[in-house]
Amino acid sequence: MRRGISVICFGNERIHLNNEQNSNFGTKVSNYPPCPKPDLIKGLRAHTDAGGIILLFQDDKVGGLQLLKDGQWIDVPPMRHSIVINLGDQIEVITNGKYKSVLHRVIAQTDGKRMSIASFYNPGNDAVISPAPALVKELDVTNQVYPKFVFDDYMKLYAGLN
């Protein structure tokens, strides 16, 4: 039986994840060919990542990844020998909104094909997700932003929205 990530550290806070025997680790390889008219096509629609933690190894020459900040799309420039770390929706819930799952997209490029490899961790389908008690207590129980839910129920909702 595989064990998933059992502790996530955010600064001085350690968040213990329970019942993670059925967690998933996966990899997605993406190829975005060059496009002579990038305004006519979406590379990858705007979305947040549904799961936990995503490690993105992106092309070091061709850009296209953007994130939404203060209502503006901001380019994430390709950097050689770097890894982009995305926090998914589940981390936003576990941290009670302290850390956000960022809306991002990939726009088509004219100057070459873009390749990326995303490695991700998701909780098991039966995992019960809720804000970490240590963070809710710190923020006051009346300030709990997210309700408790089962990860598989969330994924069904997420798939229906996208």
Q: Is the pTM of this model over 0.75?
A: yes
Among residues 16, 28, 69, 148, which one is catalytic? 28
Mean pLDDT estimate for the chain: 84
- Cα–Cα distance between 23 and 87 in angstroms, integer? 16
- Three-state DSSP string of 81-150: CCCEEEECHHHHHHCCCCCCCCCEEEECCCCCCEEEEEEEEECCCCCEECCCHHHHHHHCHHHCCCCCEE
Q: What is the DSSP string of 48-60?
A: --SSSEEEEEE-S
Residues of the chain with pLDDT > 70, as a percent, come to 82
Which CATH fold would you assign to the domain 7-161? Jelly Rolls (2.60.120)
Task: Name the stretches of the chain with pLDDT < 50.
Answer: 1-7
| Per-residue confidence (pLDDT) for residue 3, from 0 to 100 | 42
Helix, coil or strand: residue 15: strand
| Per-residue confidence (pLDDT) for residue 21, from 0 to 100 | 63
Please confirm, yes or no, whether 28 is among the known catalytic residues.
yes
Please confirm, yes or no, whether 47 is among the known catalytic residues.
yes
Among residues 47, 61, 137, 156, which one is catalytic? 47
Query: What's the pLDDT tens digit per position in 19-63?
Result: 556 788 899 999 999 999 888 887 889 999 998 899 999 888 899
